[in-house]
Structure 1
Amino acid sequence: MCELLGMSANVPTDICFSFTGFLHRGGGTGPHRDGWGIAFYEAGGYRDFRDPHPSVRSPIARLITDYPIKSHIAISHIRQANVGGVRLANTHPFTREMWGRTWCYAHNGQLKDWQALPLNFYRPVGDTDSEHAFCWLLATLREHYPEAPELPTCNDAWGESHRVFWRLVHRLCETLRDMGVFNMLLADGEFLYTYCSTKLAHITRRAPFGGAELSDAELTVNFAEHTTRDDIVSVIATEPLTSNEAWARMEPGELLVWRQGRILARVTPE
């Protein structure tokens, strides 16, 4: 099964440390050798890198570890193919436009009878259950919300309109969870959504910062040397990436809405 990695931060932050450990699971310490990808939201823009080859041997992956791309949101995925061949078109993360924003999505798990999900506005490019589900999910959101919920001017002023939208995202994720295993990362440049079907873990780092040791590579870092006291950086992964930190496990059926490194909302099954 695939693995996921995400980041949400309140300042432009590189994900080199976490990604270094993560890429070793793509054919090194893990069996996920069927492709990998990573996406960044930075300075109002979006860019991604995808490769259908194992990340542990990928020159492109090594570039990411050496090139500190600083972003507020990042999503990464390493693939162990179940549905669809090993090729670039089937490599996560997938992207589509909605409301003038680039939406990015990655899925861990396998769905049954996914071909029955109706498609209208969006169509898959590849032939995976993951991309099909993404097209269905995004089109359903677009059908309910032709225009994006307006962002408040104050971080503490999130109104009921946003909460109704977040509950809709949660309901759609629950529908997909009923079809199999559906762990998801979804982002639009403003928010990062993480949904847990079976397993996702997260950690939030803030002052006072300390040191961390990767579980999958011989690498340590002292975050105090690279941060300020106002920085907040949260990392989400299928399995914890460090051996000396306390990661929190998400509950099955739980949706977390992240913004600027903080959990803005938590939606659970009723």
Structure 2
Amino acid sequence: MCELLGMSANVPTDICFSFTGLMQRGGRTGPHKDGWGIVFYEGKGVRTFKDPQPSSQSRIAQLVQEYPIKSCAVVSHIRQANRGGIALENTHPFTRELWGRYWTFAHNGQLTGYKSKLKTGRHKPVGDTDSELAFCWILHELERKYPRKPGNMAAMFRHVASLCDRLRALGVFNMLLTDGEYLMTYCSNNLHWITRRAPFGPARLIDEEVEIDFQQETTPNDVVTVIATQPLTNNEQWRKMQPGEFNLFHLGERIAGNGAWSTI
């Protein structure tokens, strides 16, 4: 299976610390060696880096690790291929335009019997993964229900959650979805999150001998939520999502969802 990483923050924040932990799982501490990608939102634009090489060996990943790009919304993915070959076009995250904004999607899991059930409209997959087809189907279903951008975004994301329920019936479906302002998570079996706010403290990575004191890197008003398939640190309390649970984050805060989480 693949691994996901997302971030929602109330101020532009770099994700170098968390990405440093994730990239080690791409071929060094984990088996996810079939490519990686990351998308940063900057205003209405997106900055995208992808590579079909293992993230632990990728020079592009090293650049991202060392270059502190600041963003309020980030989605990243390391891949262990099951549907579709190892190729750049099959590398997550995927980005498409909807209602005049860029939407970005990444998926962890595997679907079966899905091709005849997932019809698309103007959004067509470029690669041959079940993930990209599922993303195109979600966008098609959203356009059918909302020809124009909806006024109630929380209600719209609840509709997305109902679409995710249908996809979960076809297999494992953990996902991240963002338009740069809102970040939605949906869990099928493995997804965790943590919200960091004052008083900040130290955090220590599991996959690399790196520790950071967020007290030295933040202001008292900062709020940052990080979502990952598995916890990235071993000295913080991460919340584990339950099957069928979704959460909606805006500027670092959880503003909607349906779950009651366990803490690990």
TM-score (norm 2): 0.96
Deviation at 1:163, TM superposition (A): 3.8
- Helix, strand or coil at the partner of 2:83: coil
Return the alpha-carbon distance in structure 2 between the equivalents of residues 164 and 268 of structure 1. 16
1:13-162 matched pairs, under 5 angstroms: 13-116=13-116, 117-150=118-151, 161-162=152-153
1:195 correspondence with 2:196? no
- Helix, strand or coil at the partner of 2:247: strand
For the 8 Å contact 1:38–1:48, the answer to whether it is kept is yes
Structure 1 stretches of 5 or more lacking a match?
A: 151-160
Name the counterpart of 1:155.
Answer: none
Return the alpha-carbon distance in structure 2 between the equivalents of residues 65 and 74 of structure 1. 14
1:176 correspondence with 2:167? yes
Regions of 4+ moved over 6 Å = none
One-letter amino acid of the counterpart of residue 206, structure 1 = R
Return the alpha-carbon distance in structure 1 between the equivalents of residues 9 and 155 of structure 2. 24
1:221 corresponds, among 203, 212, 220, to: 212
Structure 2 stretches of 5 or more lacking a match?
A: none
Deviation at 1:222, TM superposition (A): 0.3
Name the counterpart of 1:209.
Answer: 200
Deviation at 1:268, TM superposition (A): 5.5
Name the counterpart of 1:254.
Answer: 245
**1:268–1:206 Cα change, 3 Å:** closer
Return the alpha-carbon distance in structure 1 between the equivalents of residues 78 and 237 of structure 2. 23
- Helix, strand or coil at the partner of 1:176: helix
Return the alpha-carbon distance in structure 1 between the equivalents of residues 53 and 139 of structure 2. 28
For the 8 Å contact 1:35–1:86, the answer to whether it is kept is yes
Return the alpha-carbon distance in structure 2 between the equivalents of residues 56 and 164 of structure 1. 39
- Helix, strand or coil at the partner of 2:115: helix
Deviation at 1:167, TM superposition (A): 2.0
RMSD: 1.1
Return the alpha-carbon distance in structure 2 between the equivalents of residues 53 and 224 of structure 1. 35
Return the alpha-carbon distance in structure 1 between the equivalents of residues 74 and 148 of structure 2. 24
For the 8 Å contact 1:170–1:267, the answer to whether it is kept is no
Return the alpha-carbon distance in structure 2 between the equivalents of residues 248 and 262 of structure 1. 14
Return the alpha-carbon distance in structure 1 between the equivalents of residues 183 and 156 of structure 2. 14
For the 8 Å contact 2:27–2:56, the answer to whether it is kept is yes
One-letter amino acid of the counterpart of residue 139, structure 1 = H
TM-score (norm 1): 0.94
1:165 correspondence with 2:151? no
1:244 correspondence with 2:231? no
For the 8 Å contact 1:33–1:53, the answer to whether it is kept is yes
Return the alpha-carbon distance in structure 1 between the equivalents of residues 114 and 259 of structure 2. 23
For the 8 Å contact 2:32–2:78, the answer to whether it is kept is yes
For the 8 Å contact 1:114–1:132, the answer to whether it is kept is no
